[in-house]
């Protein structure tokens, strides 16, 4: 018999619908030992309060998460526009990491030696190889490959069809855009952005926006730097 788990979703943006599809696919998987029920949505946008998404009410702001001590939380805030605010949001909530549920699509290939932290969202088609370590609150969208012995630190976001080769370190709060390739034995510094389609052949410093092939440093727009 499947364990029934109540979920409170944090965030009522477009990412909500992608996460709900992930929940439906997990629930439909005969091999899964979990059955999720989304019982409420929380969002700090007061104009959304009282509205319904997929039949589920947005009942109030994120501070209400403390009102659901027996439910798991799913952190569904993670677009490029909100990426650099995610760590601050989690810190301000002051809720233990183990309260946050990790959702992994049934068709994701995860080697037995890989480890994944709390509050991660891993969508369909990803492959996570030998002795990969993915820390808490990492988001992976679709069809990426994480090579052997790679470490991805907290609050990173990996978009579609990214390839990260072996022995790579992705520091905290990095955003990697669609179609990027990260070479072997490379370190991407914290709070950096890798633009879509970028090929990385050497390590990247902290707080850097890089893009292209060969990759080059780009100028951060004011609103991007403000978020750091």
Specify whether 93 is located in the same domain as 31: yes
Which structural domain range is residue 198 located in?
Answer: 103-213
130, 148 contact by CB (below 8 A) = yes
Total domains present in the chain: 2
Specify whether 80 is located in the same domain as 120: no
State the CATH number of the domain containing residue 158. Answer: 2.160.10.10
| DSSP structure class, residue 84 | G
Specify whether 37 is located in the same domain as 49: yes
| DSSP structure class, residue 80 | T
User: Per the domain annotation, does 84 fall within a domain?
Assistant: yes
Specify whether 69 is located in the same domain as 10: yes
In the structure encoding, which two tokens stand for residue 126, read together? 């990803």
Go through the chain and tell me how many residues it has: 228
CB atoms within 10 A of CB 73: 21
Which strand (E) or helix (H) includes residue 74? strand 72-75
Provide the residue-wise pLDDT of the chain in tens; the chain has 228 residues: 889 999 999 998 888 999 999 999 999 999 999 999 999 999 999 999 999 999 999 999 999 999 999 999 999 886 777 888 899 999 999 999 999 999 999 999 999 999 999 999 999 999 999 999 999 999 999 999 999 999 999 999 999 999 999 999 999 999 999 999 999 999 999 999 999 999 999 999 999 999 988 777 776 654 444 443
Q: What would you report as the CA-atom Rg of the chain, rounded to the nearest whole angstrom? A: 17
């Amino acid at each position: 018999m499947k364990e029934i788990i109540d979920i409170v979703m944090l965030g009522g943006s477009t990412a909500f619908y992608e996460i709900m599809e992930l929940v439906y696919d997990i629930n439909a998987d005969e091999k899964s030992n979990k059955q999720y029920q989304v019982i409420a949505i929380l969002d700090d946008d007061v104009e959304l309060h009282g509205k319904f998404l997929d039949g589920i009410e947005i009942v109030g702001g994120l501070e209400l998460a403390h009102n659901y001590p027996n439910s798991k939380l799913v952190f569904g805030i993670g677009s490029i526009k909100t990426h650099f605010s995610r760590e601050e949001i989690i810190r301000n909530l002051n809720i233990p990491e183990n309260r946050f549920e990790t959702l992994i699509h049934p068709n994701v290939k995860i080697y037995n030696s890989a480890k994944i932290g709390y509050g991660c969202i891993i969508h369909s088609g990803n492959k996570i190889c030998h002795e990969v370590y993915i820390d808490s609150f990492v988001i992976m969208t679709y069809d990426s490959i994480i090579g052997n012995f790679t470490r991805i630190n907290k609050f990173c976001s990996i978009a579609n069809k990214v390839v990260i080769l072996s022995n790579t370190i992705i520091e905290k709060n990095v955003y990697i855009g669609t179609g990027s390739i990260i070479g072997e034995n490379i370190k991407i510094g914290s709070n950096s952005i890798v633009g879509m389609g970028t090929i990385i052949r050497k390590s990247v410093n902290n707080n850097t926006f890089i893009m292209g092939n060969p990759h080059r440093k780009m100028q951060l727009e004011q609103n991007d730097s403000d978020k750091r």
